[in-house]
Amino acid sequence: MNDGKKINRIDSIFKDYVDNKFDYLRMIMKMSNEEIIKDLMDSGLKGRGGAGFPTGNKWKLAAEQPSGEKFVVCNADEGEPGTFKDKEILLKVPHKVLTGMTACSKVTGAKRGYIYLRWEYKFMKDDLQKSVDEFNEVLKEMKIDFKIYIFLGAGAYVCGEESALFDSMEGMRGEPRNKPPFPTVSGFMGKPTVINNVETFATSTMILSFGGENYAKLGTDVSHGSKLFSISGDTSIPGIYELELGMTLHEFVEKFGDGDTKAVSVGGVSGALVPRKKFKDTIIGWEGVPTGGAMILFNSTRSIYRILHNYLDFFEEESCGQCTPCRIGCQQLKKGIEAVKKGEEDPSYLDTLANLSKVMNVSAKCGLGQSVMNPVLSAVNNFREELIY
């Protein structure tokens, strides 16, 4: 049994703590590169997109690359089902994202920054471009040699994977690359690149204005700070909430559930589908179930079969098709659960499917194929009857 933290709402991302939105930038540009890296390291910030690489470390690695052309890329290809917080950040506080990107350019020496905006968010492109133009103008006045551009995606979940995103920007199919080399060594156009999620850049700005040690007081020893949660499904209060990390899923469900929650997808469709009996033992964070912030709640009227089928349908469509385990695996998993449900396969076939998902986890080239295992194992292990009858 894990006590975890109580629900604690924080307001660092959407609230402004300065009179003028460019004050963050002016403040940060007075800091030394060492101070910026130290604050980020002290804060314990890990990438908010879901993969969780320490942000300070990432910036430092790119900074240590030999000078020459480098890039800063903001990943606004928020495609994980159940996630919608980056959209809100870009609509409400774009200056925090742009400031974070500029801080990164200062540390790494990059002269160009790109926001890779998913096509689904094209409706906001003109407004975002206005914010970017205004920001670029201020950079020019401050004699900062950094310019930000928007790059519009074209609809592909896999492009949220950083190396697929670079390929897409380079005019190719968004197919993930082999790693290493990692982006800090060879990213966009083969140059050292820092790629962070929208929320990570916005959070970096706030860490640099609050101080890294202050930020680290929030959260736990493993999961520092607060983060945005996108909450949807069977809840009467869906929306975006910034919460301190370290609470249990039980605490979370008490607050956001409808009193009848039977499972929660923590981290969207590529995360675990946690059953009610494990709510109390599950901490939301790196010590428990990690998440990019997507929380989808399901009550007892929902069929886990239908949910898993919807997820597999999603993966099958969004698999880039490059590596066999993911391309064929997603298809076979979907066909497999259909066959068990129809009685064409014995219920024990579910174990074969679970094994297949484990094989995908170790053999698929990128996070998409690797993470299909999470919901499949959760469903097979915890909701077996629902997949059979």
Contact residues for another protein (CB under 8 A)? Answer: 78-84, 86-87, 118-123, 151-157, 168-174, 189, 230-234, 238-240, 265, 269, 294, 296, 298, 302, 307, 310-311, 313-314, 317-318, 320
182 or 241: CB nearest another protein: 241
> How far, in whole angstroms, is CA 318 from its chain's centroid?
17
For the bound state, the minimum distance from the C-beta of residue 290 to another protein, rounded and expressed in Å, comes to: 19
For the bound state, the minimum distance from the C-beta of residue 226 to another protein, rounded and expressed in Å, comes to: 19
For the bound state, the minimum distance from the C-beta of residue 134 to another protein, rounded and expressed in Å, comes to: 22
Rounded to the nearest 5°, which phi and psi values hold at 146? Answer: -155, 135
For the bound state, the minimum distance from the C-beta of residue 97 to another protein, rounded and expressed in Å, comes to: 16
200 or 209: CB nearest another protein: 200
55 or 265: CB nearest another protein: 265
Beta-strand ranges (E) seen in 292-387 are 294-299
Q: CA–CA separation, 108 vs 93, rounded Å?
A: 24
* Max Cα-Cα span within the chain: 70
For the bound state, the minimum distance from the C-beta of residue 90 to another protein, rounded and expressed in Å, comes to: 11
For the bound state, the minimum distance from the C-beta of residue 212 to another protein, rounded and expressed in Å, comes to: 30
Whether the link from the prior residue into 181 is cis, omega within 30° of 0, is yes
Query: Following DSSP, what letter does each residue of 278-317 receive, concatenated?
Result: GTTT-BBSTTSB--SSEEEEEETTS-HHHHHHHHHHHHHH
153 or 187: CB nearest another protein: 153
For the bound state, the minimum distance from the C-beta of residue 103 to another protein, rounded and expressed in Å, comes to: 25
240 or 247: CB nearest another protein: 240
Cα angle vertex 277, ends 274, 278, to 5°?
50
211 or 238: CB nearest another protein: 238
38 or 255: CB nearest another protein: 255
For the bound state, the minimum distance from the C-beta of residue 86 to another protein, rounded and expressed in Å, comes to: 8
CA-to-CA dists, residue 13 to 32, 225, 270, 294, 299, angstroms: 24, 12, 25, 17, 30
For the bound state, the minimum distance from the C-beta of residue 22 to another protein, rounded and expressed in Å, comes to: 28
82 or 212: CB nearest another protein: 82
236 or 348: CB nearest another protein: 236
